[in-house]
Every structure is written in C-alpha cells, then in structure tokens.
Structure 1
C-alpha cells in the first residue's frame, strides 16, 4: 500500500465518530482514554503492557505512529467523538498481512463499549480499504476468547477462515490462539460493511469517499 497525492485517507467520518491520524497533540486525551480502559484492554492488546506512561511518552508514541502514517508504512487512527473533543478508541489499517491486503485493528474505550462503535469503525475502514485503497482482501484477527471482537467481524460479513493455534504471545506471557476473519473484494459489495455510512478525506480535505 503506497500513498499517493490523494491517499491514504487522513480523516474518516462515520455516523457517530471521527477517525483521523493521530497527532502528538492528542497525547493527553489519548492517555486518559487508554489508562481508564486498561482493565479491559490488557487481556487482548499486547501494547497495553506499556502503560502507565506519562504525557511526554505518549506524545512520542503518537509521533512515531504519525510518522509511519505519513510514510505510508502503517495507518493508525484515533477514534474521536464527532466534534473531536473526546477520544473514544483507536483503530488502524495495517499492511502486515501480505500484498493487496490490509488488517483492521480496533479498540474502544471502556465507557463506550456495547454501543456498536467497533462494528461502525471497522466497517468504515473496510470501505476505505476496498473503495479507496483498492485492496483484494481485508482481515480481522482476534483471540477466540474475545467474543465481542469476533462478533464485529461476523456482523460485517467476514468469513472465519481458521484459527491459528498458539500463534501469538498474550499480554500475560502465555501463548494464544488467533482467529483469522477475511472479506474478499468480490464478497464485499454484498456485505454489511458496504452499507456503513462513511465519508473519507485526504490530507488536503478533498473527498475520497
């Protein structure tokens, strides 16, 4: 996945959220959202082991993610309320699953779970992956025990291709299984993801979707 003059999508608007690439200036609200959600992030998200951290450390982390975004190497987005005032979670399009494919990752802050937000943002990035980036395949990976995450993939029309046994190391150091959910380009138009309300814009604010 290589950025062009118009790609990637720097800002994505859904019905209830604003997705945009992280900025170091988001460190304070991002830190508050993450540290208030650690109890429900730690079982599933290896990166959550880095916390607690201070605002300067968080700003440096967001700066690295923004750098990878601008270089076209990885695409992490903050998930904000529609007015941009509150961090609701994080998501991303990750080109680590092979040529012509992107993996979608997501987390939702503890105070905003159970409202369909993860399905909404994952559906929005599925549309961006297929309609803006022209991908052939989109994947979602999750621990089989993370039932809400698996339901997101299922609701959006992804197919459970298989479960890789003891493939990754969990945050507690144990080996964990990983479910692989996949949606192909020719399946996408019939999926629920294709109906998600979304607008996408490039770094100049020009509409992509």
Structure 2
C-alpha cells in the first residue's frame, strides 16, 4: 500500500482537454515529426525566452525519446505535458504543461505557441483551461507561471487571467551559454480562482480511456 504522504495525485488525470478552438492532449510517439517541425519553425522565435530551444534542432529519434519521457511521467502523475492542437485542422500549434516544481501544493504552468500562431490568443485559451484542470482536478493550492520580465506576450497571459505578479527574482534563470536572466513570477491561489476568468473557461476534460472528468 502506498503511504498517504506519497499518494498526492489523482490516478486519473485529464489526458485530453477540449476547448472552443483547441485540443490539449498527452503526446504520443506518433506526434514526434509534428513536434520536430513545429519547434524547428519556431526556434528563432523561442530562443530569447526558452533555454531548451538552444538544444534544437533535434532529430526524430530524439523527439520520440522526449515524448516517451513526457508520457511516462504523465502516466505516473509526476507532471503533465500536453500538445496544443488546433481542433479545426489537427495542426500542432504549441505545447503546455503542469509541473510540480514550485513548492508544496503548487503546480507551475509552462507554455509556448508556434510562431505562426503568436498573438492569436492560443496561449491564453490553453492557460485558462490548464488552470481549471490544475485547480478542479489536481486540487492544486496555487498555480504559478514564470517568465523573463521582458517577455511581454508571455506575461500578458497571467495578467489577463487574474494572476498576481509576485515580483522579479534577479538572475534566477540560467541559459546554456552561462547567461543569467531575471524571472518574473505570477500566481493564482485556489481561493482566488472562482473570481478569475479561468473559472468560466469552457472546456471538456477526459481521462485516459475517454471518461468525462469535466
């Protein structure tokens, strides 16, 4: 039997989330080529803000291994990385995730959007949906978003969704070349959620076998 203190997550997280325009779903190995292409096309756009972009481009086998890691941690309830797919075209237009790396009770949210879809509200729609999943399904006590302070498009998302800016940590982010950048932190507490735009986000969420969760 798993000790109570180790059983911290519901064994049936949302594997697929449907919003008005988007499908957020757990990656499958068959998505490797689409992920490779989307990241390669967006690399220059992402480089100033995403440290991992320096490791791109990766080949298909590397992307398959990356996705297998995503799926393994998803199945174990350790973190939840979703591909963002446009419902109308099934095109991969970004990636988002919930990560338990911001302290007890919290989930950190990350996201990026394909360069060709920047400014279309996709990041905001995905972030609102994931905030609802984090609070209602994962029972997170707070959701946190971090970004480099000059990344205004990224910071605009938590601002629109009712998050509070907690401040800027100086030189907290380290880049592969050794550079250090500031980190701006935004958060939404569970008790603030009901008054936020996230609570009214229209979505359906489904477990691993397609059972309705929301």
> What range is the shorter-chain TM-score in?
over 0.9
Does residue 20 of structure 1 match 2:6? no
SS of 1:167's equivalent in the other structure is strand
Query: Is the 1:43–1:170 contact (alpha carbons within 8 Å) kept by the matching residues of 2?
Result: no
- Counterpart CA distance in 2 for 1:80 and 1:98 is 30
Equivalent residue pairs, number: 207
Aligned pairs for 1:47-196 within 5 A? 47-83=52-88, 85-196=90-201
SS of 2:14's equivalent in the other structure is coil
Q: Structure 2 stretches of 5 or more lacking a match?
A: 1-7
SS of 1:37's equivalent in the other structure is helix
Cross-structure match for 1:2:
9
Cross-structure match for 2:4:
none
1:58-107 deviation line (CA, Å, top 9, x unaligned): 11111111111111111111111115631100000001112211011000
- Counterpart CA distance in 1 for 2:176 and 2:163 is 26
SS of 2:181's equivalent in the other structure is strand
TM-score by length of 2: 0.93
Distance 1:77 1:84, change over 3 A: farther
Query: Is the 1:45–1:171 contact (alpha carbons within 8 Å) kept by the matching residues of 2?
Result: no
SS of 2:135's equivalent in the other structure is helix
Q: Following TM superposition, by how much is the alpha carbon of 1:54 offset from its aligned partner in structure 2, in angstroms?
A: 1.1
Distance 1:171 1:112, change over 3 A: farther
TM-score by length of 1: 0.95
Distance 1:74 1:52, change over 3 A: same
Aligned pairs for 1:29-44 within 5 A? 29-44=34-49
- Counterpart CA distance in 2 for 1:43 and 1:170 is 10
The root-mean-square deviation of aligned C-alpha atoms, in Å, is 1.2
- Counterpart CA distance in 1 for 2:187 and 2:34 is 32
- Counterpart CA distance in 2 for 1:208 and 1:85 is 22
Query: Is the 1:17–1:82 contact (alpha carbons within 8 Å) kept by the matching residues of 2?
Result: yes
Distance 1:193 1:171, change over 3 A: farther
- Counterpart CA distance in 1 for 2:184 and 2:176 is 17
Query: Is the 1:91–1:106 contact (alpha carbons within 8 Å) kept by the matching residues of 2?
Result: yes
- Counterpart CA distance in 2 for 1:24 and 1:187 is 37
